[in-house]
Amino acid sequence: MIEEVGIIPGIRIGSQKHAVFAAESVYHAGIPIAEVTMTVPGAVDVIAHLARAFPKMIVGGGTVLDAGTAQRCLEAGARFLTSTGLVTEVVEFARSSNVLYFPGVLTPTEVIAGWKAGSDFVKIFPCGQVGGHTYLRALKAPFPQIALIASGGVTQQTAFNFIVAGASALGIGAELMPPEDLEVRREERIHELSKRFLAMVKAAREQLRGGF
């Protein structure tokens, strides 16, 4: 589903209430995925609420830095785990628990280490700050067999190019769920942005297939 949809909404928000609203908004707009980072106050409770309220939503725990936190995320209903770096104990926990995991990495050496550790995807973070889609393309060339997720710096201006460069999916935060729109519960704006990003992913994949 992550590969099919191509977008992982990264919910890194300083309010539990806004985090729930953000996840619900993108879900209703057609993105049934939400990564709730552990920096959200009461993040595990947010995961539990979303997993109960929306059984078809693929909820994950983000910025998971140790096995204990990973365990709490799974108990709350998380279906994938991710982190901003390569955390060996989380990799091992995920493998033993048979749960999807992808670490954040940056260099070619880290890409190999993440893949060799048994990660399902490898997240390039922060991608936008080190060359954007051109950097991801440079990584994809020697590693065509590794599914890369672009995260950090993915915007409306860059999303299309990241997919064309070889990203299997995009991690998107405030560009998809602007804080000012969450503050005033402007759900229609988040719906509009969600549909816009989905259309970009679709168009980029059609171009890769030679659709135009």
What is the tens place of the pLDDT at every residue in 180-197?
999 999 999 999 999 999
**Residue 58 main-chain phi, psi, to 5 deg:** -90, 100
Torsion angle in degrees (nearest 10) through CA of 102, 103, 104, 105: -110
- Give percent of the chain with pLDDT exceeding 90: 95
- Give percent of the chain with pLDDT exceeding 70: 99
CB 65 within 8 A of CB 89: no
Locate 184 and state its tokens: 């005033």
Between the two ends of the chain, the Cα-to-Cα distance in Å is 25
- Asked if the model's pLDDT at residue 211 lies above 70, the reply is no
Tens-place pLDDT, residues 103-157: 999 999 999 999 998 888 999 999 988 999 999 999 999 999 999 999 999 999 9
Catalytic residues: 35, 123
Average pLDDT, the chain: 95
Tens-place pLDDT, residues 67-113: 999 999 999 999 999 999 999 999 999 999 999 999 999 999 999 99
> What per-residue confidence (pLDDT) applies to 118?
86
Domains in the chain, please, with CATH?
A: 2-208 (3.20.20.70)
Strand 122-124 versus strand 104-105 pairing type: parallel
Q: Measure the CA–CA gap between 173 and 145, rounded to whole angstroms.
A: 26
Strand 148-151 versus strand 80-82 pairing type: unpaired
Long-range contacts of 140-145 (CB under 8 A, 24+ apart): 140/165, 140/166, 142/108, 143/108, 143/111, 143/112, 143/115
